[in-house]
Amino acid sequence: MTMLRRCLALGFLALLLALGQPALAQVQDQGRPSNEELQLMQQLQGQGPLTGRVSIPDQRAATLIQPAGKEWRDFWRGTSPWIGGIAIGGMLALLVLFFLIRGRVPMEGGRSGETITRFNGLDRFAHWLTAISFLVLAITGLNIAFGRDLLLPLIGPEAFSAFSDAGKVAHNFLSFPFTLGILLMLVLWVRDNIPSRLDLEWLAAGGGIIGHGHAHARRFNGGQKAIFWSVVLMGGAIAVTGYFLMFPFTVVADVGGMQTTQMVHSVLSMILVAIILAHIYIGTIGMEGAFHAMGSGEVDLNWAEAHHDLWAEEIRARERRETGTAPGAMPAE
Amino acid sequence: MARMKFLCDAERCIECNACVTACKNENEVPWGINRRRVVTLNDGEMGKERSISMACMHCTDAPCAAVCPVDCFYTTADAVVLHSKELCIGCGYCFYACPFGAPQYPQLGNFGGRGKMDKCTFCAGGPEADNTPAEYARYGANRLAEGKLPLCAEMCSTKALLAGDGEIIAAIYKERVVTRGYGSGAWGWSTAYPDSQGV
């Protein structure tokens, strides 16, 4: 009798279990998200954020779950250090190797003693305004990307945080002179940086640094134009994305947009740092006589004729015309 | 040691926002900051509307801690994810990574105005000595050190919001689901605790 009752009870329980299947399935499916949560996630095409309504003023709080944060995290801790490491580390390795093989490119024919003006005060102001702010921006930016892994273990959390905090302030403020410098350089030099057929010939001749023959060049050769356009275009994009990040959720409305902005900002910045490393190399230890162009603004005539023959000719012709004309007459051009 | 978790039973939450208010009051959260919020999904749709109270879920392998450029996060013995406002530089990266939108920034910095990040501490204070004025000023209450659980869950009128050891609150929730015969799952658990058993 008790046996029968027990069997009946078990049968009834089995029936209950069968009826309560969906709920129990959730309970028993260990390690899996609930069905309803999954359904809602799928309704929002899998990866979209799950948004509802909130009664508080901050409407961003209405997003209950944003799964894209995971991808951004993977980028920031996984992909981004690789991109930066390969771009910057690779460039440094390349420059060291190049220096060991080629050495310092000497000035052809030595110094002539005679100089011509390559960059006037405003030119140099624009360059160094951008350059100095870029250096600080690059160091503080790379600190955000790599400091935790490279610098933090060396100096400890307190010092590292103090440095990063000051770095963040510097990064924010120096974005303004950097942007101003880029705009100034764009206005000053854009007319001399329009790509032309000469640039292709320059490239074919190995830019004068790989081979020995020099291609003709006006004020800026192909390499310098490449630097100019990467600084203006990439630097401009970095500045714009930087301002989006600095004023979060003002132009870019949602968290997904902020993630994308951060990704664009970091990747472009790290590539630009790599490009600028090459620019710094060639302007300083890489080539004799090159630094004077941005240092004093005066370059040796032999250097000018070797690297920018058409421009040097133009300048000398203008000088001859100017000295030849009577005072008070209209200047040439 | 316990593994502290939050669990919001969407079948019980009535969107009264008492948890939000309790949190703000208990921790004297700055103006404009909500460490906890109630989100209503399918608002106004008969039978489909669900409200969920959400705050920091104190994730296993927390994304905020992973992306922080100054590594200011730490996990307590109770698996509560906390951070040091001493070290935080207010960069905002934790907000980009957090699946639950937990990190908040009082408008104190320059320009876009990010001050030190503020988020739910599971009423467990911060790195300062327990229940000191310095800890309270920065992080709010440290109820855990007093042997109490977070106030939001403690005073939830329908007991929709549960806080405590993960296994215990999961058992309570399972019992409810079995008794009721339905449940919409523990919101966010699959995201926050991928390694733990699902509910």
Instruction: Kindly list the residues from chain A whose CB atom is less than 8 angstroms away from the CB atom of residue B71.
Output: 148, 152, 157
Q: Is the pLDDT of residue A180 over 60?
A: yes
pLDDT at B36: 95
- The chain A residue lying nearest B73, using CA atoms, is A157
Kindly indicate the confidence band of residue B112, based on its pLDDT and cuts at 50, 70 and 90. Answer: low
Tell me which of A6-10, A117-121, A146-150, A318-322 is least confident: A6-10
Q: What single DSSP character describes residue A61?
A: G
> Is the whole model's pTM more than 0.80, yes or no?
yes
Distances (CA, A) of A210 to A101, A202, A247, B85: 10, 11, 45, 53
When scoring A40, A50, A65 by the number of chain B Cβ atoms within 10 A, the one with the most, hence best to mutate, is A65
Kindly report the number of other CB atoms within 10 A of residue A330's CB atom: 6
Mean pLDDT, range A106-124, rounded to an integer: 84
Distance from CA of B51 to the nearest CA of A (A): 9
| Secondary structure class of B56 (helix, strand, coil) | coil
3-state secondary structure of A23: helix
Residues in chain B with CB shorter than 8 Å from the CB of A79 are none
Q: Residue B55 in contact with residue B37, Cβ under 8 Å?
A: yes
Q: What is the pLDDT of residue A37?
A: 57
User: How sure is the predictor about A286, in pLDDT bands with cuts at 50, 70 and 90?
Assistant: confident
Amino acid at A137: L
What's residue A269's pLDDT?
Answer: 96
Average pLDDT, chain A: 82
> For the residues A8-17, what does the mean pLDDT come to?
44
| Residue A60, both tokens | 């961003």
Element (H, E) at B73: strand B73-75
Least confident stretch, A99-103, B21-25, B96-100: A99-103
What residue type is assigned to position B29 of the chain? V
Residue A25 has pLDDT above 50, yes or no: no
Chain A residue numbers with beta carbons less than 8 Å from the beta carbon of B103 are none
- Which pLDDT belongs to residue A213? 62
Least confident among A36-50, A90-104, A292-306 = A36-50
CB contact at 8 A, B198 and A38: no
Q: Kindly tell me if the per-residue pLDDT of A4 is higher than 70.
A: no
Closest CA to A68 of A40, A97, A45, A101: A45
Q: What is the pLDDT at residue B2?
A: 86
Per-residue pLDDT at A8: 47
**What is the pLDDT confidence band of residue B113, given thresholds at 50, 70 and 90?**
low
Q: Based on C-alpha coordinates, what's the Rg of chain B?
A: 17
For range A77-105, the mean pLDDT: 93
The neighbouring-strand residues paired with A53 are: B40
CA A75 to CA A208: how far, in whole Å?
39
Tokens of A257: 């947009």
- Both tokens of A52, joined, read 């509802």
Percent of chain A clearing pLDDT 70 (strictly above)? 80
Q: Please tell me the distance in Å from A144's CA to the nearest CA on chain B.
A: 5
**If you measure CA to CA, which chain B residue comes closest to A149?**
B69
What pLDDT is recorded for position B83?
96
Burial of B84 (0-12, 13-18, 19+ CB in 10 A): buried
Query: Between β-strands A115-117 and B37-41, what pairing exists: parallel, antiparallel or unpaired?
Result: unpaired
Q: Sorting pLDDT into bands at 50, 70 and 90, what band is A20?
A: very low
CA-to-CA separations, B180 to A20, A33, B9, in angstroms, rounded: 9, 19, 12
Contacts of B38 in chain A (CB under 8 A): 54-55
Distances (CA, A) of B93 to A242, B88, B97: 14, 11, 6
Give chain A's end-to-end CA distance (angstroms, integer).
119
pLDDT digits (tens, 9 = 90+) for A218-253: 888 888 899 999 999 999 999 999 999 998 888 888
Q: Residue A255: its chain B contacts at CB < 8 A? A: 95-96, 101
Cβ-defined contact of B97 to A33 (cutoff 8 Å): no
Dihedral (C-alpha) A177, A183, A186, A188: value to the nearest 10 degrees? -80
Q: What secondary structure, in 3-state letters, does A196-220 show?
A: CHHHHHHHHCHHHCCCCCCCCCCCC
> Between chains, do B184 and A63 touch, taking CB under 8 Å as contact?
no
Helix (H/G/I), strand (E/B), else coil: A299: strand
Is A22 in Cβ contact with B182 (below 8 Å)?
A: yes
pLDDT digits (tens, 9 = 90+) for A189-199: 998 888 888 88
**Angstroms from B164 CA to nearest CA on chain A:** 19
C-beta contacts of A112-115 below 8 A and 24+ residues apart: A112/A300, A112/A301, A112/A302, A113/A300, A114/A300, A114/A301, A115/A292, A115/A298, A115/A299, A115/A300, A115/A301
- Provide the pLDDT for residue A15: 43
Reported confidence tier of residue A328, pLDDT bands at 50, 70, 90: very low
State residue B146's pLDDT score. 94
Mean pLDDT value across residues B75-94: 94
Look at residue A2 and tell me whether its pLDDT is greater than 50.
Answer: no
Helices (H), B35-149: 63-67, 93-97, 133-139
Q: How far is A150 from chain B, CA to nearest CA, in Å?
A: 11
CA distance B185 to chain A (A): 5
If you search the block for the tokens 């926002």, which residue do you land on?
A: B17
B40, B49 Cβ separation under 8 angstroms: yes
Flag whether pLDDT at A326 surpasses 60.
Answer: no
| pLDDT tens-digit readout, B26-66 | 999 988 889 999 999 888 888 888 899 999 999 999 999 99
pLDDT of residue B109: 59
Q: What is the CATH topology of the domain spanning A69-321?
A: Fumarate Reductase Cytochrome B subunit (1.20.950)
Q: Given this model, what pLDDT does residue A189 score?
A: 93
Tell me what the mean pLDDT of segment A10-20 comes to: 43
Nearest to B69 among A24, A26, A148 (CB): A148
The region of weakest confidence among A30-34, A73-77, A206-210, B128-132 is: A30-34
Whether A332 shows a pLDDT value over 60: the answer reads no
Average pLDDT (A2-16) is 45
* Contact yes or no for B34 and A24 at CB 8 A: no
- Interatomic CA distance for residues B196 and A62, integer angstroms: 26
The model's confidence at residue A10, banded by pLDDT at 50, 70 and 90, is very low
pLDDT surpasses 60 at A12? no
Instruction: Express each pLDDT in B121-165 by its tens digit.
Output: 999 999 999 999 999 999 999 999 999 999 999 999 999 999 999
**B70 to chain A: nearest residue by CA?**
A148
A-B contacts (CB, under 8 Å): 174
Q: How confident is the model at residue B110 (pLDDT cuts 50, 70, 90)?
A: low
Domain spans, chain A: 69-321
Residue of A29, A54, A250 for testing the chain B interface, max B β-carbons within 10 Å? A54
Neighbouring C-beta atoms of residue A89, cutoff 10 Å: 11
Distance from the B159 Cα atom to the nearest Cα atom in chain A, whole angstroms: 19
Distance (Å, whole) CA B48 – CA B17: 19
Name which of B54, B70, B96 is nearest A64 (Cβ-Cβ). Answer: B54
User: What would the mean pLDDT of B76-94 be, rounded to a whole number?
Assistant: 94
Residue A112 is predicted with a pLDDT of: 81
CB-closest option in A24, A158, A161 to B178: A24
pLDDT mean across residues, chain B:
90
Domains for chain B: give ranges and CATH numbers: 4-192 (3.30.70.20)
Pick the closest to residue A219 from A191, A186, A187, A182 (CA basis): A191
The answer to whether the beta carbons of residues A232 and A259 sit under 8 Å apart is: no
- Encoded tokens for B31: 């103006």
What is the pLDDT, as a whole number, of residue A124? 93
The reported pLDDT for the residue numbered A272 is 96
pLDDT at B117 over 90: yes
Listed in sequence order, the DSSP H helices in chain A are 2-19, 21-28, 35-43, 68-74, 80-84, 90-102, 121-142, 148-150, 152-155, 157-189, 197-204, 222-229, 235-246, 255-283, 291-295, 301-307, 309-324
